[in-house]
Structure 1
């Protein structure tokens, strides 16, 4: 298929999406279909079409173009006078699910590369299990648990687990050569982890966290020996129990505690343990700052997990795109984010106490960074220690919150994330530019 035909197919795909929405909207008026069912019908249709994309397009670039066009269409559909937009946005709760679904399709396809099961399985779970859970919960749900902006049902989560388990078994059997017992254990873990992610997600973030979390988990652990898989499953169960016990002491809601479990497990499951230290310390520093210097954001405990996830996914994608390992830069970003929360945590102390405390924290963080870099393979330290970048990042993330803490009362996570990300990102881009990657 030549380039012109692939472009035409991409444009036709957008027309198919709009046509599907028009049909659903028309049927909803005839049969009095509710907004939630309308949204899930469009979700299922677009998801099933997305699964076929690797076979429809010989090249990858037209799919990325299609994703970009879809995002533009979704933006237009959010305009107040968009009739078709009400098919997606007629539900009462605020959701970014339409944008995140399109972004996840592009990212999953990019990260899966030639291992097609890493794309098909997560997108199939997102398409079928998520829709089945939502429809089952809204229709048959009788036992509910609360999340920050509503509630979800035990019945819906049970359906999600069952459908995900079936999808995982079929995909792994048909698309991999893994041993049968490994397939069973992996499928149960995928179903359990996926159910946990879906149950704790809010505002449509499951459309990103679920497929990318499953893809990264499978990419790292699909070929693990059976004892390692069983040990990982035990670790996940231990995380759940530990956070359930610790959450009340930290002042976390039950929903936030479940979100923290998911974040910690995913970070530890997909990277070497030393590279998970700073991301976990970010969560601890956030909990400290939330106690001593509360944020005025509506859901700060959820914001930090979103911020940490975006940093993690972003560095992963950038490293894969350039083929220059970004683990060290990811660790520096997490270190900066941790320092920012620590600076806010001590703003109520006397100046001398703040200086001594933050100096000790910086010294400990730098020592920890040195240890982590020494534990990592040489390939991850290709740009050296980068102490000037670390110093610049520390000055930003410690100085601004210390001098103007009131500026971080709102949108704290977003502001600290930008401060922590700027020096390592600039350093990374300069380093690969110097190496000729960006020419």
Structure 2
């Protein structure tokens, strides 16, 4: 298929989306369909069409063009008084689900590569299980639990689990060579993991975290031997029980504790333990800073998880796009976040005690970093140990927070994340460009 035809098909795809929205909006007025059902009808239609994209477009670049175009359209529909936009934004809660759905389609296609099931399975779960859970919950839900400033239902979660389990079994049986018993164990974990992610997500973030989380989980573990899969399933179960017992003692809500355990499990499931230590400590440091130096954020526990998830995903995508492993730079970013959060937590201490605490922290971080470097394979350390960058990022984050703590009363996590990314991101881009010139 020539490029002009693929561009025309991408433009036609956007027209189909707008036409679907117009049809749903028209019949919503005629049949008095509620805002939630309207949104889910669009969600289903868009997702089903997205499942066809690998077969509609022989190349990937038109899909990326389509994603960008769709994002522009979605932003326009968010303008005030957009009648078509009401099919997506008529619900009372704030949601970025429409934007994140389009982003997820592009990212899943990019990360899946030539393993088509890594695209089809996550998008199918997002399309069918998520919509079915929402509709079942709003229609038949009687047992509810709190999620941020809204609520979800037990009935919806059960429906999500069952449909995800069926989708996973069908996709793995028809699209992979794995043994049936392995497929059953994988599918049970996919369903359990997906249900927890969907149940704990907020503001439409499940449209991003759910498919990307499933894709990464499958890419890392789908080919594992059966004993390894069973051990991983036990680790998942133990993590949930442990966090359930610990969360009340550190002031976490039920929702926040579920989000934390999901994040910790993802970190342990998709990377080696040594690479997960610092990011997990970031969560612990946030809990410490939240109690010692409260901020004005409405949901700070969710903010730190979202930030950690987004920078993890960002470094993963950047590493895949450039083909230069980014795990060390991700670790340096997490070191900056850990340093800043601990500096905030210690801000109420005397100067001497603060110096002692932060010095001890710096020594511990350097030790963990040294162990991580020694345990990781050579390809992850292609730019060397980068000790100057490690020390610089650690010192910069701690110094800014210590000197200007008042700046972090609002939008704390966003500011800390930006500060922590400046040095590793600039170093990575320079190093990749310089290494590319040499090769």
Shorter-chain TM-score above 0.5: yes
Matched residues in 2 for 1:199 and 1:219: separation?
23
SS of 2:436's equivalent?
Answer: coil
Matched residues in 2 for 1:30 and 1:173: separation?
42
Deviations 1:275-297 (CA, angstroms, capped at 9, x unpaired): 00001000000001001001110
The reply to whether residue 370 of structure 1 matches residue 370 of structure 2 is yes
SS of 2:58's equivalent?
Answer: coil
Matched residues in 2 for 1:392 and 1:438: separation?
26
Q: Cα distance, 1:390 vs. partner?
A: 1.5
Deviations 1:19-64 (CA, angstroms, capped at 9, x unpaired): 0000000010110000000000000000000000000001000000
Matched residues in 2 for 1:201 and 1:257: separation?
12
Matched residues in 1 for 2:412 and 2:218: separation?
33
Matched residues in 1 for 2:148 and 2:11: separation?
38
- Indicate the residue corresponding to 1:386 in structure 2: 386
Q: Cα distance, 1:344 vs. partner?
A: 0.2
Deviations 1:275-334 (CA, angstroms, capped at 9, x unpaired): 000010000000010010011100000000000000110000000001100010111111
Alignment of 1:26-37 (within 5 A): 26-37=26-37
Stretches (4+) displaced over 6 A: none
Q: Cα distance, 1:438 vs. partner?
A: 11
Q: Cα distance, 1:202 vs. partner?
A: 0.6
Deviations 1:78-97 (CA, angstroms, capped at 9, x unpaired): 00021100110000000000
- Indicate the residue corresponding to 2:287 in structure 1: 287
- Indicate the residue corresponding to 1:298 in structure 2: 298
SS of 2:181's equivalent?
Answer: helix
- Indicate the residue corresponding to 2:129 in structure 1: 129
SS of 1:318's equivalent?
Answer: helix
- Indicate the residue corresponding to 1:319 in structure 2: 319
Matched residues in 2 for 1:13 and 1:103: separation?
16
Matched residues in 2 for 1:8 and 1:38: separation?
28
- The answer (yes or no) to whether the contact 1:432–1:438 under 8 Å persists in 2 is no
SS of 1:278's equivalent?
Answer: helix
Where do 5+ consecutive residues of structure 2 fail to align?
A: none
CA spacing shift, 1:438–1:419, aligned 2, 3 Å: farther
- Indicate the residue corresponding to 2:411 in structure 1: 411
Matched residues in 1 for 2:165 and 2:367: separation?
44
SS of 1:435's equivalent?
Answer: helix
Matched residues in 1 for 2:366 and 2:419: separation?
18
Deviations 1:115-155 (CA, angstroms, capped at 9, x unpaired): 00000000000000000000000000011111121111110
The reply to whether residue 182 of structure 1 matches residue 162 of structure 2 is no
Matched residues in 2 for 1:335 and 1:370: separation?
13
Matched residues in 1 for 2:128 and 2:21: separation?
18
Q: Cα distance, 1:391 vs. partner?
A: 2.3
- Indicate the residue corresponding to 1:250 in structure 2: 250
Q: TM-score, normalised by structure 2?
A: 0.99
Matched residues in 2 for 1:146 and 1:81: separation?
31
Matched residues in 1 for 2:109 and 2:34: separation?
32
The reply to whether residue 54 of structure 1 matches residue 82 of structure 2 is no
CA spacing shift, 1:438–1:36, aligned 2, 3 Å: farther
Deviations 1:201-232 (CA, angstroms, capped at 9, x unpaired): 01000000000000000000000000100000
Matched residues in 2 for 1:321 and 1:410: separation?
34
- Indicate the residue corresponding to 1:112 in structure 2: 112
Aligned length: 439
SS of 2:145's equivalent?
Answer: strand
- Indicate the residue corresponding to 2:161 in structure 1: 161
- Indicate the residue corresponding to 1:226 in structure 2: 226
The reply to whether residue 336 of structure 1 matches residue 336 of structure 2 is yes
Deviates more, 1:137-146 or 1:389-398: 389-398
Matched residues in 2 for 1:121 and 1:236: separation?
21
- The answer (yes or no) to whether the contact 1:322–1:437 under 8 Å persists in 2 is no
- The answer (yes or no) to whether the contact 1:339–1:398 under 8 Å persists in 2 is yes
Q: Cα distance, 1:436 vs. partner?
A: 2.0
Alignment of 1:83-102 (within 5 A): 83-102=83-102
SS of 1:436's equivalent?
Answer: helix
Deviates more, 1:70-79 or 1:348-357: 348-357
Deviations 1:66-114 (CA, angstroms, capped at 9, x unpaired): 0000000010000002110011000000000011000000000000000
Q: TM-score, normalised by structure 1?
A: 0.99
Matched residues in 2 for 1:438 and 1:360: separation?
40
- Indicate the residue corresponding to 1:432 in structure 2: 432
